[in-house]
Amino acid sequence: MQGRGHDARGRCIDFGHGPPNPMTKAIRQHLIDPEICIRCYTCEDACPIDAITHDDNNVVVDAGKCDYTMDCIAPCPTGAIDNWRFVTEAYSVEEQLSWDELPEQEDLGDDESTLGEAIEDDIGALIATAHAGTGGRPVAPASASNPSINLFSRAHPAVATVQGAYRITEEDAGSDVRHIILGFGETSFPVLEGQSVGIVPPGTREDGRPHDIRLYSVASARDGEKRNGNNIALTVKREDKGLCSNYLCDLQRGDKVNVTGPFGSTFLMPNDPNCHVIMICTGTGSAPFRAFTERRRRAMPGADGKLVLYFGARSPGELPYFGPLKKVPPELLEQHLVYSRLPNAPKEYVQDRMRKHADDLSELLCSEQTHIFICGLKGMESGVDEALADICRAHALAWGEIKPTMREQGRYHVETY
């Protein structure tokens, strides 16, 4: 399973719609910036539950009615709509109508990101784990699109229909990885490459409580697995006794699945075609990079930026998408498939292969256009990190300085699970 999720990112933080943390009792209130709003009332028309109202002065959201449907976010032409404050007591409609500007975030005595990751326990825990390897606060690439987040929750999931499900590792390989296509029909479920979705397994645990939500990276481009098909693809490895993975891997065409999300607002595909993107993965960590590659193929053919993939598996038979990858042209994607269990060959891991390409990689590391994404099993980031440090040392570069700079500029991303 890929435990990944969203993170705190300035004013666009989303902490899900679960119950507030009893420790802090903070609620996340949706506000409209009166200094930016042009009073076009588009949001008011878009809100399906009439939570938005206005007078001659302001357009405001009624905290008592807002159910975070997020229908108002995309149609706003100004961005005034996308403002949030953590409050212990909601600002009233009357109070908001009188504002000339937004109030500052009140000091709740908690680090913002800690507060964020704790509010929804199940997803929060996954996020904390998945992003830990970044080594600091992750930042979205500068040219990434603005993601939609948390449009669907456990209480209000999107219901998807399985449109296809098939195995993408060899039948006799030890690892059973499946490619699962979920269609959303008439429901809009916008995702960006790099985002995840939550899967709600049916049924309850022995103690009667619902199962935990599992997060999976989307393996398809933003415009669908099939272009404009309003569908997404997931890459799922069957885990021994894995409740959700077995549920997903056993799905048949036509089955219905409850989906939450989308989640994730930093591990995102840069839109700038001049960006160099180095993608390092193992196993189902390849899912977001399949999406990245497809996005670039569709939207940025002939892009100047390089797309480089280091992909590790035990053998070709266990490498997800081995067949389709062979057909991807080298002009689009520079591929380095690395195997650790080939007969009559020494074990090789992605970091070993990267060291062999030290000249090329060190050159890329000097470019401000270069983004690094690491996705796969927990722990792989340390091997990759050491390799990058070695490469830098050999070329008179300081990885200890480059890495934090890249991270702060939204160019270094780790999601491991």
Task: Please report how close the Cβ of residue 258 comes to another protein at its closest, in angstroms.
Answer: 18
**Which residues between 323 and 352 bind another protein (CB under 8 A)?**
none
Which residues, 223 to 242, sit near another protein by CB under 8 A? 223, 227-230
User: Is residue 97 part of the contact set for another protein (CB under 8 A)?
Assistant: no
Number of residues that bind another protein (CB under 8 A): 45
Residues 343, 349, 353: CA angle, nearest 5 degrees: 105
Site string for another protein, 132-161 (x = CB under 8 A): ----------xx-xx-x--x----------
Site string for another protein, 66-85 (x = CB under 8 A): ----xxxxxx-xxxx-x---
Q: Does 403 bind another protein (CB under 8 A)?
A: no
Question: Pairing mode, if any, of strands 214-217 and 177-183?
Answer: unpaired
Interhelix angle for 112-119 vs 121-131, to 10°? 130
The two structure tokens encoding residue 225: 């697995």
Q: How many beta carbons lie within 10 A of that of residue 238, not counting itself?
A: 16
Among 27, 40, 337, 377, binds another protein (CB under 8 A): 40
Q: How far apart are CA 413 and CA 266, in angstroms?
A: 8
Tell me how crowded residue 269 is: count the other CB atoms within 10 A of its CB: 28
The Cα 372–Cα 403 span in angstroms is 10
Q: Maximum distance among all alpha carbons in the chain?
A: 78
- Least separation in angstroms between residue 157's CB and another protein is 15
Which of 12, 27, 125, 389 touches another protein by CB under 8 A? 12
Interface pick for another protein out of 185, 202, 210, 323 (rule CB under 8 A) = 185
DSSP letter for each residue of 335-383:
EEEEES--TTS----HHHHHHHTHHHHHHHHT-TTEEEEEEESTTHHHH
- 94 lies in the site for another protein, by CB under 8 A: no
Distance in Å, CB of 293 to another protein, minimum:
16
| Residues 245 to 274 in contact with another protein, rule: CB under 8 A | 271-274
Question: 400 is written with which tokens?
Answer: 């200890």
Does 301 help bind another protein (rule: CB under 8 A)? Answer: no
In this structure, the number of other CB atoms found within 10 A of the CB of residue 13 comes to 19
Q: Which of 190, 120, 116, 203 is nearest to 149 (CA)?
A: 190
Binding mask 188-217 for another protein (x = CB under 8 A): xxx---------------------------
354 token code pair: 């990267």
> Closer CB to another protein, residue 67 or residue 71?
71
Residues interacting with another protein, by CB under 8 A?
12, 33, 35-36, 38-40, 42, 46, 56, 70-75, 77-80, 82, 100, 142-143, 145-146, 148, 151, 185-186, 188-190, 222-223, 227-230, 271-274, 299-300
